[in-house]
Structure 1
Amino acid sequence: MRGRAVRVLVAACLLALAALTGGCAGGPAHRTVVVLGPWTGAEGAAFEDALQRLSAGRGDRYVYKGTRSLRETLVAQLEAGAPPDVAILNSIGELTEYAADGKLEPLSPRAAERAYPPWSPTLMLDGRRRTYWVPLRVNLKSLVWSKRATPPGPPNWCVAMAAQATSGWPGTDWIEDILLHQAGPDTYTRWATGRLDWYRDPAVRRAFTTWAQLLGPRSTRSVEQSLTMSYEGTPDPAHPDDPRRGLLGGSLPGCTHEHQGSFIRYLYPGAAGEALRVEPSARYLRGQAAYKDTYEVSGDMAAVLTHNPAAQDLVKLLTSESGRAGWSRAAPEELRPFFPDASDPQPGDATGQAIASYLTRDADTLCFDASDVMPPVLRDAFYRAVLTYFQDPRPGTLDTLLSQLETVRSEIAGTPSGRSGPVRVPDDICAPPGSQGDPP
């Protein structure tokens, strides 16, 4: 009887295992991987299509959930004990906090093969230095867009600061880019990683005041419009199926130049995109000649949050040549992703070719977006300070704001601490283009 009971128990376990894996004895194990990411609309559809292409070749099932409220959604899922298998985040500061709290799995050597700096700095945790995320898609921030037909003369800058839960980042992008080109990568790195005094260091103050000087005097109505308008612009009544039009597409009549990253071209498809010119921002920012070939970049990085081995496999697939090619084919030209060591612009895509050249060949140094390196509490304070300064750029206002930001910086000291102990924010956030990181 006892042997029979054991056989029944083993059979029941095998049946349960078959149900979980979707297979049977001798058959393939079909695994499900849930991916949480920032892309919705056409961007999300293109990424889902790429996942389906990968799934068809393997039999695993990939479920993508896109949201514009990524941090809030992920925090809620972590608190509920139901995280996604893979999360795609653009903040090194957030990723560092999750790793310090034991929420991230170290990437396997195969999954970490494309851990390119400055997007994938390693972390020292539990006495070991390992890779916890890799970039899937990257963007170039140090760009200025303008209409090709714009007559010569000083720029009339397009500025819109609203962005749902993270309003203010279009302004911090300005400050970061200016500081990088005025003070250089070393000072930029110390500032981004919490080792520079916001109030006392002249580089930070100079970046703020230079921004105000570049924008010039603005009316109360203009300031209010910029603070309340989305960086995507306003709906185009002539095209109800296209929810947004960019700032250069008529949302802010009269403006001629926009400081914005490479991702913004999704707002200018087809002929609208062909009518625009894209240039490095250095020539506009009153920086030093020594730093004109230094560029600020951002990225969407994939991290694994569960023990599901299929999640590690998917990260490897997404960064593979076939994964990249499938994603590029699935996306329209204006949504085609750029990659950290090579891009895939199609013949005739002059804008894509130019951006790819800056990312992979023309730059001396690439530096990761400073606010996305900062711990979230300091980043969010930076966003709010920029919004306040935009409204009131007087010296006294700047003194108060920089003092408040320095208080936040000194309190957190740039060192998240969690279940795995103190973790220093990575300081290798600047690197030559196309360089390969250390193996995990």
Structure 2
Amino acid sequence: MTRPHRRPALARRPARTALACCLLLLAALMSGGCADRDRETLVVLGPWTGAEGVAFEAMLKRLDDGTGETYTYKGTRSLRETLVAQLEAGDPPDVAVLNSLGELTEYARGNRLEPLDSPGHPPWAPRVDVNGSRRTYWVPLKVDLKSLVWSKSKSKGKAGGSGGARPRWCVGMASQATSGWPGTDWIEDLVLHRSGPGTYARWATGRLSWRSPEVRGAWTAWAELLGERSKKSVDLSLTTSYEGTPDPKAARPAPRGLLNSPELDCTHEHQSAFIRYLYANANGSGGAKGGSDGGVRVDPSARFLPGPAAHDGAYEVAGDMAAVFSGNPAARELVERLSGSAARRLWHEEAEPELRPFFPGAGDPQPTDPGGGEAAALLTGKADTLCFDASDAMPPALRDAFHRAVLRYFRDPSGDRLDTLLGQLDTVRAETGGTTGDSPGGASGGGLPPDAVCAPPSDG
């Protein structure tokens, strides 16, 4: 009998090998899946929505190298209200980005923030006295330059081509819950330019009366600069957004900038560098093109404001700072990464040219678009002194009262009304810790000493 040809070992070996490979692959997949589930997600709460929020979120995703925690971003226009609600619910974000030094100082003193290892970075991130120890509690992510005037290239004015003509100022005071800040920017810039950084810093930190000649004079100078206005014009400015009005003929109506809002019929706008996104099309090296009315030029506001030339090199600035609200050590590491060179490079790459952020250091990538490039040069070297937005350095209660007072004064700039408003602001100043002189440790005015508000541009 002939036996059948059998190769049992050889026949079964490939099957066993294949089965083993499949089991190893399945184990690897299961292990990887568990690892992904074990990766903790850190939440960043911030103010950027729309295209700005998209760019920041894209940077955050690229910053995630896949080896540690994952990051998620939640942007909102109601940042303060959202953060307060989360804190009250006992569920704060790991990291929050705020533009108010006054709010951040209150959170630090209320033991809501985790101290950082940063040595401090005035005027963006000064050291704060908490429980007898001076520490840094936040770091700047992006910054901004104020003390600028945008104007139509063909317009005449103090800094314009022909000179002598009185600027017709664009004013849009509406900004949802924070309406009034375009007016406080005017007052702050006037205090800085007329009286210098030292007086400005004392006022911003609660050490100078609102009824002092230096502060009161800034309010009256603003009214004089704006000139006579009809009730219709005043009402329009109070209800018009700082971004201007949309073009009703456009297929997709969007803000077009105050200079291009025909309802206002104005030639000059006092506004921060961020507004350049509304005048984004390049027009040479000195400005941005603003639609059918021609080009838009940007100049330092000192060329338009009354005050000593000695203070021309001082500029008002603002910033968005990141602070750690959770006890997770990984959140502190994230803040360090967000304020580092890699994150700044990625953010610059992801943002549209007219929305690229300004960063505090001369070595950081900066906007190069018209207007943005000039502002970046001032921020990182040409300016002598940078002073943080005074209202954002004040305690929130005083800042909010300042906003309301500006709206009331804009409607009625009489001397009696001004005296009443400044008296009310002095009352709030006293209630929030203001003093009539410097106090040890910088304990007045929300906890910031005067030397924390103004500083030279930074190299890093």
TM-score, normalised to structure 1, is: 0.87
1:125 paired to 2:136:
no
CA deviations on 1:171-225 (whole Å, 9 max, x unpaired) are 00000000000011111111000011112x1001100000000000011000000
- The 3-state SS of whatever aligns with 2:357 is coil
Q: Which has the larger radius of gyration?
A: 2
1:313 maps to what in 2?
A: 333
- The 3-state SS of whatever aligns with 1:297 is strand
Pairwise CA distance, 1:250:
2.4
Report the residue type matching 2:106 in the other structure.
E
Report the residue type matching 1:212 in the other structure.
A
1:143 to 140, 148, 164: 148
1:278 maps to what in 2?
A: 298
Pairwise CA distance, 1:414:
3.8
Equivalence map 1:297-308=2 (5 Å): 297-308=317-328
Would you say the 8 A contact 1:116–1:340 is kept in 2?
no
Would you say the 8 A contact 2:151–2:269 is kept in 1?
yes
CA deviations on 1:3-54 (whole Å, 9 max, x unpaired) are xxxxxxxxxxxxxxxx9x9755xx9962211011111111111111111111
- The 3-state SS of whatever aligns with 2:373 is helix
CA deviations on 1:102-161 (whole Å, 9 max, x unpaired) are 111111x2xx26x42101110121332110001100000110011222244221100010
CA deviations on 1:311-363 (whole Å, 9 max, x unpaired) are 1121111111110011011111110000011353465x232221111101111
1:351 and 1:261 map into 2 onto residues whose CA distance is 11
Would you say the 8 A contact 2:359–2:366 is kept in 1?
no
1:339 to 359, 381, 396: 359
- The 3-state SS of whatever aligns with 1:350 is coil
Equivalence map 1:144-223=2 (5 Å): 144-151=149-156, 152=162, 153-199=165-211, 201-223=212-234
1:384 maps to what in 2?
A: 404
1:101 paired to 2:99:
no
Report the residue type matching 1:363 in the other structure.
A
CA RMSD of aligned residues (A): 2.2
Do the aligned partners of residues 270 and 288 (structure 1) sit closer, same or farther apart at CA in structure 2, a change above 3 Å counting? Answer: same
Report the residue type matching 1:94 in the other structure.
E
Report the residue type matching 2:281 in the other structure.
G
Pairwise CA distance, 1:62:
1.3
1:424 maps to what in 2?
A: 447
1:127 and 1:215 map into 2 onto residues whose CA distance is 46
Percent of aligned positions with the same letter in both sequences? Answer: 60
1:34 maps to what in 2?
A: 43
Any gaps of 5 or more consecutive residues in structure 1? 1-18, 416-420
2:78 maps to what in 1?
A: 69
Would you say the 8 A contact 2:354–2:367 is kept in 1?
no
Would you say the 8 A contact 1:177–1:296 is kept in 2?
yes
1:91 paired to 2:100:
yes
2:353 and 2:384 map into 1 onto residues whose CA distance is 27
Do the aligned partners of residues 249 and 58 (structure 1) sit closer, same or farther apart at CA in structure 2, a change above 3 Å counting? Answer: farther
1:182 and 1:252 map into 2 onto residues whose CA distance is 32
Would you say the 8 A contact 2:367–2:376 is kept in 1?
no
Pairwise CA distance, 1:282:
0.6
Do the aligned partners of residues 29 and 127 (structure 1) sit closer, same or farther apart at CA in structure 2, a change above 3 Å counting? Answer: farther
2:422 and 2:338 map into 1 onto residues whose CA distance is 41
1:249 and 1:156 map into 2 onto residues whose CA distance is 13
Pairwise CA distance, 1:58:
4.5
- The 3-state SS of whatever aligns with 2:80 is helix
- The 3-state SS of whatever aligns with 1:103 is coil
Report the residue type matching 1:160 in the other structure.
G
Structure with the bigger RCO (C-alpha within 8 Å, sep 6+) is 1
2:8 maps to what in 1?
A: none
- List structure 1 runs of 4+ shifted beyond 3 angstroms: 21-24, 56-59, 238-242
